[in-house]
Amino acid sequence: MGPKAYKFAEFLAEAEATYWQVLPLGHTAPEYDDSPYSALSMLAGNPPLISLDKAARDGLLTRTPPRCQATDRADYEAAWRIKTRYLEAAFEERRNWRDFEEFAARNSWWLEPYGRYVALREAYGATWTRWPKELRGAHLPEKLGRRALFYQYVQYVFWSQWLDLKRHVNNLGIFIIGDLPIYPAHDSVDVWEGRRYFKLAPDGTPLYLSGVPPDYFSPTGQLWGTPVYDWDAMRQDRYAWWARRLRRLLEVFDYIRLDHFRGYAAYWEVPYGEETAVRGRWAPGPGEELFKAVEDNLPRLIAEDLGYITPDVVELRRRLGIPGMRVLQFAWDGNPANEHKPHNYERNLVAYTGTHDNNTVVGWWREEASPRARREALAYMGGCRREINWCFIRLLLSTAADVAIVPIQDVLGLGAEARINKPATPRGNWKWRLPSQPPPAHARRLRRLAKLYGR
């Protein structure tokens, strides 16, 4: 969230972009490959993303932060080892303490449980079901209480930096699209504190795990490993737990992408202990009733309606009036009725060349696309002399979809080495990072295409 993030925002402004979409910003853990969809909190920011340069400019640091070499792979553990020393010093010296106390008072409902959770996890390990029972409540020994307060302070630094960046981005005429994972991780303060809202055994272990049945990405389905909601318990509280989290995220983002939207109509639950997602079952979700709890915020939501989509999912999205998603890489199956083919796009959509779960366009073209898919795509586009990524970008921007999102890897024409995530693989994901700023020529090229197609 330091100088490079501000420069990237200026690249987007030069391209006359309207939106910057980001992955979830939650506090990730190395045990889960630092996946933002397996975070320790849905609401706490990821401490390694804090900028020491920004902290120094804000008067939090007494020492000059180190200069680190830019790489194209993130090392979250190493980054946090460096940054924690500086933030601990700022905490001990009570830097910006009055501002911190005001932040803590406004956010106490999620911040205090988060601080306790991370301090206990640091002391007793990653599985809260094995923690001493007397330490699972609100009162901690003095040493742990001090550590919990430190992590609250870290969140003050994180969200102060994020909101400064967001103000800069908004002042450039750009809106930020955030992301709400449908489920929190079992190893999270959200489940630990909200146990009654999940299908858990008395000892806290899940009765069912989330996932999806066999699909495009995996013949055995995807077993995500997170517990599923007890929607009946949520309903009894008028969905206050869920609505409160969504409203909080809409304070720090302009729009929110709802991950796995089909799970709100019906979700796939797999008995605990299964090794794959094959032996699961569909269970009814809350449907429209849930969204009535946040009705005023519906215009700021986007539905990730990919995968196995049934008519009830389509009908739910349309009743709510929120846009769905289309992905250009999914279009080339020989079926003219394929909803991902551009001639089938409606206006109320957000269209992508690919998402964080896809290969890059160049990587897909080289390594995954079948000869038939390549022939069909070329015929559809009327050929492509060079730079398949830019041919896809041009096609995407020419569609009727109200919004078109292009991953920065596709703007740069990067291959499979720049892929963010490969579903159903537990390791090696979420580490790619942009080591240097995109060339200005790319911004000009995006701007010309946007103007050509009236975007």
Taking only the tens place, the pLDDT of each residue in 133-151 is: 877 556 788 899 999 999 9
- Predicted local confidence at residue 49, as pLDDT: 97
pTM: 0.96
Q: What pLDDT is stored for residue 416 in this prediction?
A: 97
Of 34, 230, 305, 357, the active-site residue reads 357
Task: Please provide the average confidence, as pLDDT, over all residues in the chain.
Answer: 96
Q: Which of 164, 259, 274, 402 is catalytic?
A: 259
47: pLDDT strictly greater than 70: yes
Q: For the segment 255-314, what is each residue's pLDDT rounded down to a tens digit?
A: 999 999 999 999 999 999 999 999 999 999 999 999 999 999 999 999 999 988 999 999
Average pLDDT over residues 116-127: 94
User: Per residue in 215-250, pLDDT tens?
Assistant: 777 889 989 999 999 999 999 999 999 999 999 999
CA-closest candidate to residue 288, choices 256, 312, 324: 312
> Is the Cβ–Cβ distance between 78 and 64 less than 8 Å?
no
Is 203 annotated in the active site?
no
Q: What is the pLDDT of residues 67-113, one digit of tens each?
A: 888 888 999 999 999 999 999 999 999 999 999 999 999 999 999 99
Q: What is the pLDDT of residue 138?
A: 60
Q: Is 333 a catalytic residue?
A: no
The residue annotated as part of the active site, out of 304, 305, 376, 410, is 304
Q: Catalytic site residue 77?
A: no
